[in-house]
């Protein structure tokens, strides 16, 4: 069975836990909240002991399997928690599949990993957990979903943010959900329940955005020039290499060129892109037909030569113009 963070609470309220759970994702806040909810439900169900394992080598998996098959010292029900990088290997896959088989009344299995690639989601140990228990992939909150997510969190805290307040809050915490939750808790303490406007956000919320080159690529793909320029400035301020920034932008330009030629990203050989990525590419398809690729390629080449010192000028200035034009604006030069 598969669940999402949104319907996990409903599942837990039903009062009957599955024998095994797999939480997989890179959003630490959401994974941590889901794990805390499961631990609390396990305690209420009588799983009074908790063992945590971090297997890395083949011997670690053998020790984990032995621990899982041994009886609790005092005969209590226990939560067996396993955290690893998602690459189980032959030994790990066999051990996890065996633990899923033996999980039940006395032992509850909780496995926590980073986001699993599509191929790994078909591995035997994952299908074993999904078949007898619950697999909950935790996807990142993208820029398009961030304001809705923030609004839900604010309303849960008794706050009713205006549209301007949500937009400002999203800009200040973009890519950093932990900071977002902390700022909402601070707003709850500082402000009375009810309406929250942009002025209150501006006064109370510190800029905590976490920018990366992939976020820049997403903004360029979406044609969101304001977000692209904001991220570009953040990357420059954080000391990110201009080479990586250029790579991210050119990567998306190549994607849009392929879309213009009629490429179907879902049918490419290799791992299938995640659903949010496929949806973003489809939204970009109409815009991809109108971009001036020859001029964009020339500007990307200029930025590359500036980075390498073969052309006078600041590559960051050229990157600003490249991003603006890739988003659909026509710079003056």
pLDDT at 83: 92
Structure tokens at 156: 């849960």
Is the pLDDT at 186 greater than 80? The verdict is yes
CATH 1.20.272 occupies which residues in the chain? 213-326
pLDDT at 300: 93
Beta-strand relationship, 77-83 and 47-53: parallel
Task: Tell me how far apart the alpha carbons of residues 224 and 3 are, in angstroms, rounded to a whole number.
Answer: 32
Asked if CATH classification 1.20.272 holds for the domain at 213-326, the reply, yes or no, is yes
- Scan for tokens 């299938």, then name that residue: 272
Q: What is the pLDDT of residues 285-318, one digit of tens each?
A: 999 999 999 999 999 999 999 998 889 999 999 9
Which 3-state string (H, E, C) describes 282-305?
A: HHHHHHHCCCCHHHHHHHHHHHHH
Is the pLDDT at 11 greater than 80? The verdict is yes
Task: Tell me how far apart the alpha carbons of residues 246 and 300 are, in angstroms, rounded to a whole number.
Answer: 7
Task: Tell me how far apart the alpha carbons of residues 53 and 184 are, in angstroms, rounded to a whole number.
Answer: 33
pLDDT at 253: 93
Task: Tell me how far apart the alpha carbons of residues 306 and 284 are, in angstroms, rounded to a whole number.
Answer: 29
For a pLDDT cut of 70, what percent of the chain falls above it? Answer: 95
Is the pLDDT at 72 greater than 90? The verdict is no
More confident residue, 228 or 270: 228
Is the pLDDT at 136 greater than 80? The verdict is yes
CATH 3.40.50.300 occupies which residues in the chain? 5-138
pLDDT at 67: 79
Cα angle 86-144-12, degrees, rounded to a multiple of 5: 50
Task: Tell me how far apart the alpha carbons of residues 278 and 116 are, in angstroms, rounded to a whole number.
Answer: 17
State the chain's maximal CA–CA distance in angstroms.
76
For a pLDDT cut of 90, what percent of the chain falls above it? Answer: 28
pLDDT at 195: 86
Task: Tell me how far apart the alpha carbons of residues 212 and 292 are, in angstroms, rounded to a whole number.
Answer: 26
Structure tokens at 199: 């002025």
CATH fold label, 5-138: Rossmann fold (3.40.50)
Is the pLDDT at 244 greater than 90? The verdict is no
CA dihedral 31, 166, 189, 205 (to 10 degrees): 90
Task: Tell me how far apart the alpha carbons of residues 16 and 139 are, in angstroms, rounded to a whole number.
Answer: 25
Q: Residue 107: CB partners within 8 Å, gap ≥ 6?
A: 68, 77, 78, 79, 80
Is the pLDDT at 122 greater than 60? The verdict is yes
63-84 mean pLDDT? 78
Please give the mean pLDDT across all residues of the chain: 86
pLDDT at 135: 94
Task: Count Cβ neighbours within 10 Å for each residue of 40-49 and write b for 16 or more, e otherwise.
Answer: ebbeeeebee
203-213 mean pLDDT? 68
pLDDT at 15: 75
User: What letter does residue 191 receive in the DSSP assignment?
Assistant: S
CATH fold label, 143-204: Helicase, Ruva Protein; domain 3 (1.10.8)
Count the neighbouring beta carbons within 10 Å of the beta carbon of residue 4.
13
């Amino acid at each position: 069975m598969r669940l999402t963070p949104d319907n996990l609470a409903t599942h837990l309220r039903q009062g009957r836990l599955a024998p095994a759970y797999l939480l997989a994702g890179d959003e630490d806040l959401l994974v941590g909240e889901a794990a805390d909810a499961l631990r609390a439900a396990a305690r209420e169900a009588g799983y009074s002991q908790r063992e945590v394992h971090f297997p890395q080598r083949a011997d670690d998996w053998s020790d984990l399997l032995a621990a899982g098959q041994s009886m609790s010292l005092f005969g209590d029900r226990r939560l067996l928690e396993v955290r690893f990088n998602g690459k189980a290997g032959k030994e790990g896959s066999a051990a996890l599949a065996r633990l899923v088989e033996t999980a039940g009344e006395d032992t509850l299995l909780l496995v926590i990993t980073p986001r699993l690639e599509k191929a790994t989601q078909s591995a035997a140990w994952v299908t074993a957990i999904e078949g007898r228990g619950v697999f909950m992939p935790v996807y990142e909150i993208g820029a398009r979903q961030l304001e809705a997510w923030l609004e839900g969190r604010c309303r849960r805290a008794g706050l009713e943010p205006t549209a301007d307040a949500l937009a400002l809050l999203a800009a200040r915490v973009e890519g950093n959900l932990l900071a977002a939750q902390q700022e909402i808790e601070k707003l709850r303490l500082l402000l009375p329940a009810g309406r929250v406007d942009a002025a209150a956000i501006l006064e109370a919320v510190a800029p905590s955005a976490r920018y990366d080159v992939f976020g820049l690529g997403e903004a360029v793909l979406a044609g969101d020039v304001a977000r692209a320029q904001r991220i570009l400035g953040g990357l420059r301020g954080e000391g990110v290499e201009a080479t990586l920034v250029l790579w991210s932008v050119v990567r998306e330009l190549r994607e849009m060129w392929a879309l213009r030629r009629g490429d179907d990203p879902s049918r490419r050989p290799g791992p299938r892109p995640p659903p949010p990525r496929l949806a973003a590419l489809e939204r970009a398809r109409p815009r991809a037909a109108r971009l001036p690729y020859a001029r964009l390629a020339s500007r990307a080449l200029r930025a590359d030569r500036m980075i390498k010192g073969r052309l006078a000028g600041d590559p960051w200035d050229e990157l600003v113009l490249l991003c603006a034009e890739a988003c659909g604006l026509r710079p003056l030069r």
